[in-house]
């Protein structure tokens, strides 16, 4: 199975932290992260620094790291943009892959972007075409795809309506994001299956939050239904500052530990991820939501049980 690991710790993981992380510290974490073998690292988001102060140095992070020569061959540096100004900044900074999306919840959409869903969708599609015309891969997402902390249930039909607009616009790299953490494995499989029935050529990605403890199970369900790109964050840090109850992301090292015991992505350095998670925990002075960096992994036992 060709699974892509997309770590979002430096963006989604840090945006909820009140303690601003200095740029040199982020650069060191970024250097350690790209050396673990993950495929895509989200360096930050190009948003207004007054709304998300932790992301104020995203432009500088890209410029300094790209000029350092520390980016291993094959590793993609992604960035999140919400509007045309963010896209302009991202293009200037050297973003490798652009991530942008629309919430399926009207309330969350207005809190996150100040726009209604339909307006946001039209603008995101135009931005995606602009980024693609400039030679950059683009991943578009549907946020609050499984529920909203403000509105409650989000009808699958609304998610599929946005997905169809993406597909009609020629955008086939699509992520479903469980912003509020309301997803369950059965609903995940049904929704991803439905998208694949609409277009078998879609490249599916998933982004789950562990608000209610189901993040890893939901990620596995998405894999079963054809998701090939899995988003996660070292230590399980993160959460959306514009949702009602913010929960951390699926933990990168916990996910990699599970995959490797399934015989998948054994090339990724789990020890590098757990070491980095420990460094983040020391920096913030608290235990992180992740488990494997504290407990250690399950010992290999396949030979003994063969």
CA angle 131, 252, 144 (to 5 degrees): 55
What is the rounded distance in angstroms from the CA atom of residue 5 to the CA atom of residue 23? 24
What is the rounded distance in angstroms from the CA atom of residue 46 to the CA atom of residue 59? 7
- Catalytic residue numbers, as ranges: 240
Q: Do 78 and 43 meet the contact criterion of CB atoms below 8 Å apart?
A: yes
What is the rounded distance in angstroms from the CA atom of residue 297 to the CA atom of residue 213? 19
Question: Residue 251 is encoded by which pair of tokens?
Answer: 């933990």
Closest CA to 61 of 70, 52, 51: 70
Q: Do 61 and 29 meet the contact criterion of CB atoms below 8 Å apart?
A: no
């Amino acid at each position: 199975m060709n699974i892509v690991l997309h770590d979002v710790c430096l963006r989604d993981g840090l945006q909820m932290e009140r303690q601003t992380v200095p740029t040199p510290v982020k650069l060191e974490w970024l250097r350690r992260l790209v050396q673990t073998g993950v495929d895509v690292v989200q360096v930050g988001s190009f948003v207004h620094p007054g709304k998300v102060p932790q992301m104020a140095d995203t432009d500088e992070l890209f410029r300094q790291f790209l000029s350092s020569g520390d980016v291993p061959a094959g590793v993609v540096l992604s960035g999140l943009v919400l509007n045309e100004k963010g896209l302009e900044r991202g293009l200037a900074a050297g973003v490798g892959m652009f991530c942008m999306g629309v919430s399926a919840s009207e309330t969350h959409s207005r809190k996150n972007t100040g726009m209604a869903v339909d307006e946001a969708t039209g603008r995101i599609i135009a931005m995606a075409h602009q980024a693609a015309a400039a030679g950059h891969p683009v991943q578009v997402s549907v946020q609050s795809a499984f529920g909203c902390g403000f509105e409650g249930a989000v009808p699958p039909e609304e998610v599929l309506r946005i997905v169809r607009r993406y597909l009609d616009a020629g955008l086939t790299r699509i992520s479903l994001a469980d912003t509020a953490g309301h997803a369950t494995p059965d609903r995940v499989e049904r929704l991803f299956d439905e998208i694949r029935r609409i277009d078998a050529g879609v490249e599916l990605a998933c982004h789950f939050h562990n608000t209610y403890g189901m993040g890893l199970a939901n990620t596995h369900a998405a894999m079963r239904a054809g998701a090939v790109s899995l988003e996660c964050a070292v230590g399980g840090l993160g959460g959306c500052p514009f949702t009602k109850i913010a929960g951390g992301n699926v933990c990168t090292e916990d996910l990699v530990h599970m995959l490797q015991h399934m015989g998948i992505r054994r090339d990724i350095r789990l020890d590098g991820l757990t070491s980095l998670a420990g460094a983040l925990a020391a920096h913030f002075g608290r235990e992180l939501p992740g488990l494997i960096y504290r407990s250690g992994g399950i010992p290999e036992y396949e030979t003994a049980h063969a």
